[in-house]
Structure 1
Amino acid sequence: MALNVITAAVLNAFNTAIKTAFNKGLAAQNEDWKMIAKEIPSDAKSNTYAWLSQFPAFREWVGARVHKAVKERAYSVDNRKFETTLDVPRTDFEDNNLGMYSGIAESFGQSVGDLKNDLVFGGIKSGLDQICYDGQFFFDTDHPVAPNEDGTGTAATVSNYQTGTGELWVLLCTKRAPQPFYLQNRTGAPEFVAKTNAATSDAVFENDVFSWGGRWRGSFAFGFWQLAFGSKATFNDTNFNAAYNAMMQVKADGNRPLNIVPDTLVVGPANRVAAENLINARTLPNGADNVLYQRVKLIVNPLMA
């Protein structure tokens, strides 16, 4: 019986096919996260977001410039490291059983989008118990807002959270230059490298497999809490309007209006039907016009479950 000889040329051709399939999947990846977050580059082990204490705005210049007080707490986010590994048994080369691996490699490329979606939408949920730049949970009932534009004085408290026991739903303002969420990217595009040298690869020697490995570094970071409002209260018109109005009424230090208008609603499976009925239906069950019809863009994502 003829034996399929595993030559360098065979491995190189397979490697080219695998990387082409990976890049195809990378190009077709689901990037829903881009609708609610902005990618921000990272060039070190972590990013420090000291600038988040200053929501950008102009004021009338009377007298000297107003310099914000230096914040004692710096919000820093470490980059995390992620990997994915594709092992191809040596016997599959010998038996010419390689047809399925292009599809598998393509799905590995698509999984990069899955990772980024998971970081962002999972990060939203972590806002209930993770600290943001002002030292409070991102979704909280007592964010400090100073009475003076320079950040000094005894701060009042502002809420961007409705308590409840249901699945989290979130209103966002995404059309400003500052963002509610950021995806921190340390390495740029993910790499996909081969470990196929039979003479030097431990994986080939010990486990009789050729390996391809993906690698990416980055993290999720909270932006401005003023641009987000989270709720675990029942999703209905009353609670939606309360959250919507609360965002429009948020002010910066010095009692300066921020002119925030929500434009996006993010819900999970538990609130999908109620959200679609409230936002996407032209008429109410009684036949009356729905005043909230397309008031915001609706995003339903299973990662919010």
Structure 2
Amino acid sequence: MLTQAQLDALKTTLKARFNAGLALSPDDWRKVAGYIASDNKSNTYAWLTQFPAFREWVGSRLHKKLSEKAYAVVNKKFEATIDVERTDIEDNSFGHYGTLAEGQGQAATDLKNDTIFQAYPAGFTSLCYDDQYFFDTDHPAYENEDGTGAITPVSNMQAGSSAPWILLCTKRAPKPLYLQERSAAAFESVTSPNNQNVFDLDVYSFGGRWRGNAAYGFWQCAFGSKAQLNTSNFNDAYDAMMNFKGDGGRKLGIIPDTLLVGVSNRVAAEHLITTQKLANGADNPLYKRVELVVTPWMD
């Protein structure tokens, strides 16, 4: 009969391999998103209605109110489970399960990358804090700094039918997107001989669990395009971001620093950003203008 010591040893081995797998895939999502810890079923982001900015202090302070519109993001649950045959443990034939556990750990990091990078192209049809799509043509900018007065629509998108590409400002405290994490990726197991699965299926279960979601942040720090990725469209998007103004007509000081593309736009993006010389031999004015991030998770 299997002893609890044997099961605990297997659990320790698989957990170690799971944790080793967590470090295998790079946290590329950190290049294009911030991190917010969650301590409840969901997070509410009323504070996103106020882009941080100073003003000259004349008279009393200007007390800004947060929007009454509640932009809430509910945490989702994710899992990956392995059933280890009891007979494999009895016969000391379970080495291959370590590879699977390590793969689970790697997949947990991949999940975060997938969650963030998929959220960007989804931003053309997903609402953010101002009740507009994250990438839209009519985000409201108000006449007065306190969020009152006439509204001027602001666009942070280009229409088109090509694969999406995203221009980002990631070097400021406000972030265009956030990874909201309720529970960090963790290894869990069921090793009690009295468990129903052991009795019915003759297996012991091990697996990973993560809980969280992607939350849209400041649309002012992102510009989405479905137009062809070329010099003209890139420059239009770049200049549009630098000209973004907040309530009261104040400049936001946005400077794009990252170009995010999927595999389908990789060649065009590399030609645009990482090629030092143009075909005619002249210097490329866009050479290293921004950091290029190419990810398979976005397509």
Report the RMSD for the aligned CA atoms in angstroms.
1.1
Displacement of 1:69: 4.5
Residue of structure 1 in register with 2:276 after alignment: 282
**Is the 1:252–1:258 contact (alpha carbons within 8 Å) kept by the matching residues of 2?**
yes
Encode CA deviations 1:228-248: one digit per residue, 9 max, x unaligned. Answer: 000000000000000000000
Of 211, 232, 235, the residue aligned with 2:229 is 235
**Is the 1:69–1:152 contact (alpha carbons within 8 Å) kept by the matching residues of 2?**
no
Encode CA deviations 1:58-95: one digit per residue, 9 max, x unaligned. Answer: 11000121123442312111111111111111121233
What is the number of equivalent residue pairs in this alignment? 299
Residue of structure 1 in register with 2:214 after alignment: 220
Displacement of 1:136: 0.2
Of 45, 48, 61, the residue aligned with 1:49 is 45
Residue of structure 2 in register with 1:193 after alignment: 188
Residue of structure 2 in register with 1:174 after alignment: 170
Encode CA deviations 1:146-181: one digit per residue, 9 max, x unaligned. Answer: 010000012110000000001110000000011000
Residue of structure 1 in register with 2:141 after alignment: 145
Deviates more, 1:15-24 or 1:70-79: 70-79
Q: Mark the runs of 5 or more structure 1 residues left unpaired by the alignment.
A: none
Displacement of 1:115: 0.8
The one-letter amino acid of 1:207's match is L
Encode CA deviations 1:2-58: one digit per residue, 9 max, x unaligned. Answer: xxx522221111111101101111133321000011110111111111110000011
Q: Find the aligned partners of 1:140 and 1:105 in 2 and give their Cα distance.
A: 42
Encode CA deviations 1:253-305: one digit per residue, 9 max, x unaligned. Answer: 00000010000000011110010011001001111100100000000011211
> 3-state DSSP class of the match of 1:85?
strand
**Is the 1:142–1:157 contact (alpha carbons within 8 Å) kept by the matching residues of 2?**
yes
Does 2:297 match 1:303? yes
Deviates more, 1:235-244 or 1:122-131: 122-131
Q: Normalising by structure 2, report the TM-score.
A: 0.97
Does 2:16 match 1:10? no
Q: Mark the runs of 5 or more structure 2 residues left unpaired by the alignment.
A: none
Does 2:57 match 1:61? yes
Displacement of 1:126: 1.3
Residue of structure 1 in register with 2:263 after alignment: 269
Of 84, 90, 98, the residue aligned with 1:102 is 98
Q: Identify if the C-alpha distance between structure 1 residues 69 and 197 changes in structure 2 by more than 3 Å, giving closer, same or farther.
A: closer
Of 241, 252, 261, the residue aligned with 1:258 is 252
Identity %: 58
> 3-state DSSP class of the match of 2:26?
coil
**Is the 2:80–2:207 contact (alpha carbons within 8 Å) kept by the matching residues of 1?**
yes
Of 201, 205, 214, the residue aligned with 2:199 is 205
> 3-state DSSP class of the match of 2:297?
helix
Kindly report which structure 2 residues correspond to 1:153-164, keeping only aligned pairs within 5 A, or say none.
Answer: 153-164=149-160
The one-letter amino acid of 2:127's match is I
Q: Identify if the C-alpha distance between structure 1 residues 70 and 39 changes in structure 2 by more than 3 Å, giving closer, same or farther.
A: closer
